[in-house]
Structures are given as C-alpha cells and as structure tokens.
Structure 1
Amino acid sequence: MSEWTWDYNPSAEYLTAGLPPGVVAEVERLATELAAIGPDSTKVGRPFDREGGLREFDILNGRGFISFLPVPRHDCVYICHITWYG
C-alpha cells in the first residue's frame, strides 16, 4: 500500500460545483485508487505514449473525464479538472 494521498487543486468547492453527488463520489473513488498505486499513477490514463505530466482518465463509461497531476515529490495525486457531459 502506498503512502500517497490525493487532493483537489485548486479546491473541492471550485471543481465539484454543480456536479451530481454520484459523479463526485466516483471522482473521489478514482482519486483514492490513483493514490493507492502511488508512483505508478504517472503511467495511468492519457497520454499513452509518455508518463508524467497532466493525465486524463475517463469516468462513468465515457460520460466525462478527470484531469489529474501525479506529483512524486509530494507523494500526492492532484485532481485538477472534472468534465461531465451528463
């Protein structure tokens, strides 16, 4: 198990405003799983041809996606943007 954590960047209020509670719960579940895999989170999601940097991951069968930034020196995954198509 990893010592990594996750957080919203800039804030939970800003990123989740207006989203259905189920979407927020799914984002937080995925963020917890990304933190659990720790340094390997730099390889998850798009882009597929390189690791590190801002990553994207589909949520709820392609009905949206999250953009996240794994930062190894902080041992943290930051959720930076949530897109929900509804």
Structure 2
Amino acid sequence: MSDWTWDYNPSAEYLTDGLPPGVIAEVERLATELAALGADSVRVGRPLDREGGLREFDILNGRGFISFLAVPRHECVYVCNITFYG
C-alpha cells in the first residue's frame, strides 16, 4: 500500500456536476485504486507508448473515461476530467 492520495482538479463540484451517483462512485473507486499503485500509476491507461503526463482510463465497460494526472512529487493522482456517454 502506498501513501499516495487522490483529488479532483479543479474541484469535485465542477467535474461531477450532473453525473449519476453510480458514475461518481466508480470514478472515486478507480482513483483510490490508482493512488494505491503509487508511482506505478504514471504507467496506467493511455497513452501506452510512454509514461507520465495526462493519462486516460476507461470506466464502466467503455461507457466513458477519466483523464488523470499522476504527480510523483505530490504523491497524488489528480482526476482532471470525467467523460460519460450514458
């Protein structure tokens, strides 16, 4: 287990406004899992050919995705965007 945390960037209100509660719960579950990976979270999701930078990870069997930024210096995973197709 790592000491990493996760947070919404810019804010939870901005990113989750209008999303169903189940989608928010899934995003928060995945963010917790990514934070548990610690420094390895810079290699999860797309793009597959490099690590670091803004990454994407599918949610709910391809019905959407999250964009996140893993910042080793802050020991934090920031959820930057949530796209849900419904």
The TM-score bracket by the shorter chain reads: over 0.9
- Give the alignment's TM-score, normalised by structure 2: 1.00
Seq. identity, %: 85
Whole-Å separation in 2 of the counterparts to 1:79 and 1:17: 14
Q: Which residue is 1:70 aligned to? A: 70
For structure 1, list consecutive stretches of 5 or more residues without a partner in the other structure. Answer: none
- Residues 6-85 of structure 1 aligned to structure 2 (within 5 Å): 6-85=6-85
Q: Tell me the TM-score normalised to structure 1 length.
A: 1.00
What SS does structure 1 have at the residue aligned with 2:24?
A: helix
Unaligned stretches of 5+ in structure 2? none
**Could you say what the CA RMSD is over the residues aligned between the two structures, in angstroms?**
0.2
Alpha-carbon separation, structure 1, partners of 2:37 and 2:84: 25
Moved over 4 A (4+): none
1:46-83 Cα deviation digits (max 9, x unpaired): 00000000000000000000000000000000000000
